[in-house]
Structure formats: C-alpha cells, structure tokens
Structure 1
Amino acid sequence: MNSHITSISTAVPKYKVGQTQALNFMAGVNDMNEAQRHDLEVLYRATGIDTRYSVLKDFTKSPEESEYFNKISLPTTAERLKLFRTEALNLSLESTNSCIAQSGIKKEEITHLITVSCTGLNAPGLDIDLIYKLGLRHNIERLAINFMGCYAAFNAIKAADNICKSSDAKVLIVCTELCSIHFQKGTDEDTLLANALFGDGSASLLMESKPSINQSLQIIAAHCDLLPAGEMEMAWGVGNFGFEMKLSSYVPDIISTGISTLLNKHNQSFDFYAIHPGGKKILKVIEEQLNISKEQNIQAHEALRNYGNMSSPTILFVLQSIFGNLKNADSGKDILAMAFGPGLTLESLTLKVNINA
C-alpha cells in the first residue's frame, strides 16, 4: 500500500500581532535605551515578518497593561503549561475539525492519531483531550511526538507513512505550538532572536492508505541527516520560567553546508518546493544551494511574512498553500519539502501530486 496526504488545514489564535507591536513590547519590557531600540528595530526589519499570532493579548499592549508578562516578574513553567493545556486544545480543535470536514470521512473512520508539540507537555495529554472533544474512537491508536522542534512534522508524516503502508489506515496528524507563551525577558542574542521570530499556530493533516478524495500528495521518499557542527547552535530546554531557546546566528551557514547531502540523496529536479521558513536568511541560503528563485519558494516567504516561525506546524502551512492551489495539469508533479531543527537536524520529503479529474 501507499500513503497519501488527502487533507490539510491550519489555524491561528485570535490575537494578531504586528511586528512593530511585538518590537514595542520587547523594548518596553526590557527598558531599552535609544541605542538598544535602534538595534532591535534593525533585527525585526530583517526577519521578513509582518505579523504573527498569539493566544495572549499581551503583545498588543504595553508592558504596563500586560496581563501575563510584565517588567517585574514572569510566569513559572508550571503556569505556562497550565495555559498550554487549555489554549493548545482549543487551537487544535479548530484545525482538526476543518481538516476532517474537508476530507469527507467520518470521525469514527480515523484509525490513528499523532500529536506533535514542543511547547507544552502534560498527561493525560493533547492526544487524549482531542479524542474526547472530537468524539474519536476510544480505542484509536495514539502516538505523541514531543520536543523535536521545527522538523517534528516530518517525523509524524514518516510514522504515518509506515502505518499506512502496513495496513488500511486513516491517520490524523495534529501539530500545535504556542511559542509565545514562552516569552523571555533579556537582551542577549538568543532571546532577542527567538522573540523576533516565533508565533503560535496549529496544522492538521489526514493521511490515508487509499485516498478518499480525488486529490492527494503521495509520499515517495524521506531522508534525514545530522550536522554535528551545529549541535549546540540550536537548542530548546526547560527552564524555571518557561522553555528557553538557543538559536545562533550561525545556523543558516551551517544548514547551507548540509543541503548538498540531501540533494545527493534525492538526485532529481522538482516542480514545487515546501521549505520550512526558519528565518529569512535561512530561506536565502537554501535557495542559493537549490539554485531556485524566491518566486519558486514564495509559499515559504508568505508563511514567514504572515505568521512567523511557528515551529512544527509551519511547514504544513507552506504545504497547504501548495496543496490548495493545485490544478489538474499539476498531476504527476513532484514536491521537495525540507525542515531543520535542534541537533542540528535536516529532514526532507519528496511527494508526488495525484489528481484524478
């Protein structure tokens, strides 16, 4: 049997935060002087981001008006994870209900559920909460993929691919991240960069052994690799006051050296590209290595501009943009998808467009 992606849906929280609003909040909470604020403005302009979304209203206000983050104290990790359980479920329900509705299948037909997140953990977890709220079968097979970061959706897809190839399955994948609840005060490079890039979002997709609709993306091949030189340049740890990101400015340069390894494994040309928009510079170096134009990678740039980096669901926002705009003439065309994360990890997938008009 083969495996096919037959439905992709996305969702973002209700609070839309302009990059200038985010900048003002960051500068205010850190009491930045004029020189520091100027440097911060340069960083925020360079991100390629216009807007992001958050489950918190704080970033649309001044620090003095903030309900959650302020100049005096920060919420503990326990307080943040309590917020995650409620808000992640609400956002996940939005993306999953839409995904299932678009697929045309019944909820009781879903055989497996895979949840993905690196911004919150609890037990019983998001998987069990979704089963009860969605009305899925209580004996559904479950898998939780946690704390892998931006490339985690690829591991979920590969797990679903193996499931679909071994049985007649319908696998629901849910990637939900609330990066904004882990906001950190501070003016060090890692903190400034993380606060400038990350936002909240959820994406759900359905994978089937036998497509129930006439348009699908067939999984052809998957590859992964590690770049030891970047092992400590991107990391995600649990602190006393939220999860803490380490994101070095050297990451784009390290990624560029590893792209050739993935290209040698795939050894073909592609019609579409779905690249995880980890940042504007990352997209630029990848385009140079792939020898493609910005226009050929426009879906990634649009996702970055409109939503920022949402960690694991971001690549699915890019893939949905491609999937939702396919035409009959695109049947048989190939897609290369890539993402990167702590480790430093490189993940890639090749997919083929199937449209039965």
Structure 2
Amino acid sequence: MLPSAKLISVATAVPGYVLLQRDVAPAANAIFSNRYSDYARIARVFETTGIQKRHAVRPLEWFFEPHGWPERTAAYLEGALDLFVKAAKSALDDAALDARDIDTIVTVSSTGIATPSLEARAFGAMGFRENVHRVPVFGLGCAGGVTGLAIAAKLAQARPGTNVLVVAVELCTLSFRLDELTKANIVATALFGDGAAACILRVTDEGIAEVEASGEHTWPDTLDIMGWNVDPQGFGVVFARAIPPFAEAHMGPAIEGILASAGLSLSDVDRFICHPGGKKVIVALERALSLDQGSLDHERHVLAEYGNMSAPTVLFVLARAIEAGLPRRSLLSALGPGFTASCVSLKKAA
C-alpha cells in the first residue's frame, strides 16, 4: 500500500465586486418581469435561497447589458487568472512553500474556456518550474472541488515527496443571460457567485488531514439534471429536474456505497462537509444523511456569504471547518453534472 497523501493547506479567494441580494432582486425584476410572464412566481427564489451576498468579477451594471462569447470569455480569462493567482499564492504561503516547489498543478474550472489553460497563463505571475506537470480538468461543475481534491491526492500518492497544487476557479455569474427567459436562468441569477479555492497535498508525516479514501457514484439517465447548454450568447444553465428531491432520495445510498468500498460506514463519519448548492439542497442532504436539521451550519454560512460558486464552494466549507477544528473523520461530498456524487474522506492528522 502506498502511503496516503496529506492535506497541507487550504486557501480561498473572491473577486472585489459584491452583489447584495437586496440589490440583485430588484435589478432582476426590472430586467425580466415585463418579458417573462411566469417571473412573479419564480422571483421568490431571491428570498428563499438563504443567500445574503455574493462576489462577482464584474459590477452589477455589467449584467444589464447583452454580452456574447467574446465579452464573456475576456471577463473569464481576466477574472479567473486573477483568482487562480490569489488562491494559489495564499495556499503556498500557508504551506511555507514557493511556487517552484510545486511538482503538479490540477486546475478545475467549468465556467469558461481557456486554451492554454489557466495554470499556463499563470506561469509568469506565479513562477512555476518549467517542468511542472499540468492537469487541467473541465466539466465537473459543482463536483469539481471534491473530485479535484481526490485527483490531486492520488497524484501526490503516486509520487511520494512531490507537492501537488489543486486550484478550483469558477466564475458562475458570467452565465447570467438577458436572453434566457427560463426558470433555470432566473434561479441561476439568484444563486450563483464567483470564487476560487486552492489546496496543497503531499505524502508527509505532517499536515491538516489524511486523504484516506475517495469515490464517485454516477446515476444513469440523469444528464438532464445539471449542466450547460452551449448557446450563441454563452453557456446556458441546465436545471431540468429539481435537485433537492433527487438528493434526498438518492444521496444517502450513494454515499453508503462509496464508504463501504473503503471499509467505512455512515456511523464512522463525525462531520459531513457538503457542497451547499442551495438552501433546499442543504435541507435535503440533512434528511438524506439522517442529520439533525441545522447540522450543516458551515454550509449555510458559506451559502449566505458567497452563494453557490460551483466547484470551490465545498472547499470554502472545508476551510471554515478546519478553522473550527476538524473531528476525527470528515467526509466531503458534492453533486455535479453526470449526474454524479463525489466524496473524499479526510482523517484528521495525529
């Protein structure tokens, strides 16, 4: 058995523009209410998401104007690169490492297209070595933070002594669309925020926690639950089926199966660290995992302060849980396009 990788540091970053929900709601009303007959019924989502504010790479006024792929891509490349560098440098500082100490970079992002990918664009600002291994990952959506952490842990485990940096960057607000008169677009406008998170992993005797196991569960015939439509004006969000009832019905057995493959059970988990996709999703997860209502308190706090940032969000929850003090064993989980549940089991370092 190869020695397990340890989580060495976790850092987060957000852009400078703040979108207060009390400002976004009337702005959305002005944009959509006269053009979308069902808007009044859907508009309650701005009050029921549990979100107070979010961060964005562009000011609120930017979203009042139509934008196509060139404008959205320019905003993505600028904003995502800035957040990548901020999160990565913070993670390096926390780990007492230099960028040249990094041997592998896993970059997770599904909200924009960048070729060369973000880690290549960050070379000058970061100072990575010329022989660093690059592993860009696209298409995992909200599950990307957990799966990216699992990939990074396996790469660190495969080459003991090397440092693996994983950075999850998502600019979800760039998917807000004036031309999309759909419930899914309105919900996204009420829910999404921008942010980044970075972690460093290494096989070592020290660290925050040991990555002891990971796994995924993909349900057949569920491609319509979550994802993107690629439209002439940009990405269009896909929420074709309600996620909370699906999570409540199916997440428990899926996690039980993932844990069983690692010789664990739900009773072995002291703390669940979940991706807070929305207020209703959090309640559904508590029911699915037989937790007392209110147990996922870190998740509610992150959702209220940052909204749903897709992949990095669960790592924001992890950072908060670390600050509060990790218990013996924690389980990170997230749901993403596929439709897939992804899990990572963390055992607190001795």
TM-score if structure 1 supplies the norm length?
0.90
- Secondary structure of the residue aligned to 1:228 is coil
The question of 1:101 aligning with 2:98 is answered: no
Mapping 1:257-296, distance limit 5 Å: 257-259=249-251, 260-266=253-259, 267-269=265-267, 270-296=269-295
Q: Shift in Å at residue 218 of structure 1?
A: 0.8
Task: Indicate how the Cα distance of structure 1 residues 229 and 345 shifts in structure 2: closer, same or farther if over 3 A, else same.
Answer: same
| C-alpha distance after superposition, 1:287-345 (max 9, x if no partner) | 01111124421111111111110011001001111112227xx4xx0001110011211
Q: Shift in Å at residue 28 of structure 1?
A: 1.4
Q: Which amino acid aligns with 1:54?
A: A
- Secondary structure of the residue aligned to 1:155 is helix
**Count, aligned residues:** 339
Q: For 1:294 and 1:94, how far apart are their aligned partners in 2?
A: 35
Contact kept? 1:230, 1:254, Cα under 8 Å: no
The question of 1:334 aligning with 2:326 is answered: no
Q: For 2:25 and 2:41, how far apart are their aligned partners in 1?
A: 11
Mapping 1:204-243, distance limit 5 Å: 204-210=198-204, 214-243=206-235
Q: Which amino acid aligns with 1:319?
A: L
Contact kept? 2:216, 2:258, Cα under 8 Å: no
- Secondary structure of the residue aligned to 2:15 is coil
Q: For 1:154 and 1:33, how far apart are their aligned partners in 2?
A: 39
Q: For 1:35 and 1:336, how far apart are their aligned partners in 2?
A: 43
User: Does 75-84 or 5-14 show the bigger shift?
Assistant: 75-84
Partner of 1:143: 135
Contact kept? 1:227, 1:258, Cα under 8 Å: no
| C-alpha distance after superposition, 1:116-143 (max 9, x if no partner) | 1011112222010122210110110010
Partner of 1:84: 76
Partner of 2:121: 129
Partner of 1:188: 182
Q: Which amino acid aligns with 1:115?
A: T
Structure 2 unmatched runs, 5+: 260-264
Q: Superposition RMSD on alpha carbons, in Å?
A: 1.9
- Secondary structure of the residue aligned to 1:350 is strand
- Secondary structure of the residue aligned to 2:344 is strand
- Secondary structure of the residue aligned to 2:135 is strand
Q: Shift in Å at residue 36 of structure 1?
A: 5.8
User: Does 214-223 or 131-140 show the bigger shift?
Assistant: 214-223
Partner of 1:25: 27
Partner of 1:348: 343
Mapping 1:3-82, distance limit 5 Å: 3-32=5-34, 38-57=40-59, 59=60, 66-67=61-62, 69-70=64-65, 74-82=66-74
Structure 1 unmatched runs, 5+: 60-65
Regions of 4+ moved over 6 Å: none
Q: Which amino acid aligns with 1:48?
A: G
Q: Which amino acid aligns with 1:90?
A: D
- Secondary structure of the residue aligned to 2:324 is coil
Q: For 2:281 and 2:33, how far apart are their aligned partners in 1?
A: 30
Contact kept? 2:272, 2:330, Cα under 8 Å: yes
- Secondary structure of the residue aligned to 2:309 is coil
Contact kept? 2:57, 2:75, Cα under 8 Å: no
Contact kept? 1:9, 1:98, Cα under 8 Å: yes
Q: For 2:20 and 2:34, how far apart are their aligned partners in 1?
A: 19
Contact kept? 1:275, 1:300, Cα under 8 Å: yes
Contact kept? 1:229, 1:254, Cα under 8 Å: no
